[in-house]
Amino acid sequence: MAISGSNTNNVSADIYVLTYGNIYQSGYIFSIDDLTATTSSIGGKVFSLSNQSPAAHWSPDNFGIGVTELSTAPPCNGASDGQCNTSLIVGYYSSTPSNSYAAGLCKSTINGYADWYLPAICEMNSSSTVTCSAQNDIQSKLITTNIIPLNANYWSSTEYAASGFAWFSNLSTSGGGSDFFSNKNAQLVTRCARKLTN
């Protein structure tokens, strides 16, 4: 777009009009941050364009990392901060091959970006059985609206408060999504998210 005025130089700028479900920075936009400075690009979060695994374990063992639905910052708000949860999980399993568990799969470079993470349960579905603060989530912005027609059980990065279990979300176009917990050794679908960069 060219911008011009009287008594000044002409300026050209690329302008993108984005909303929920648009593909931007290698993912589907599910969260928009209106507090981003006007001197920066859009803020928010995207959900990966494809699954990273059809069947992965949450972790190689049942150790409790401490990122449950009841934990709050510091270090992480386990219910809603998937980026922080993933960092702690991957840090604990640093000697384990990253392609052998869900959060580790999200530390791969995916479509040119290396800052992916396993979404927290409230990022998956904020109308979850877990108490979630109001936020935009994958189920309501992408699945219920049929932008991505999914119907499967996806790991979240949130552990269940009882040791040895973690939360997952049944992302579904037909039922609005439901959340449950399972043994960490179960094999569920993994799909990553990332924060938009300016």
Distance of CA 22 to the CA centre of its chain: 15
The CA-CA-CA angle for residues 140, 141, 145, to 5°, reads 80
Q: Is residue 79 part of a domain?
A: yes
Task: State the pLDDT at residue 138.
Answer: 95
Q: How many domains does the chain have?
A: 1
Per-chain mean pLDDT for the chain: 90
Report the pLDDT value the prediction gives residue 39, as an integer from 0 to 100. 61
Q: Look at residue 145 and tell me if it is in a domain.
A: yes
Specify if 38 maps to a domain. no
On the question of pLDDT at 176 being above 70, the answer is: no
* pLDDT above 80 (res 36): no
Residue 23 lies in a domain: no
Contact 154, 171 (CB under 8 A): yes
173 in any annotated domain: yes
74: preceding bond cis by omega (within 30 degrees): yes
* CB-count burial class (<10 Å; 0-12, 13-18, 19+) for 131: exposed
Structure tokens at 81: 């901060």
Report yes or no on 30 lying in a domain. no
Which domain range does residue 163 map to? 47-195
User: What are the tens digits of pLDDT across the range 6-33?
Assistant: 777 777 777 767 888 999 999 999 999 8
pTM (2 d.p.) = 0.89
pLDDT confidence tier of residue 89, bands split at 50, 70 and 90: very high
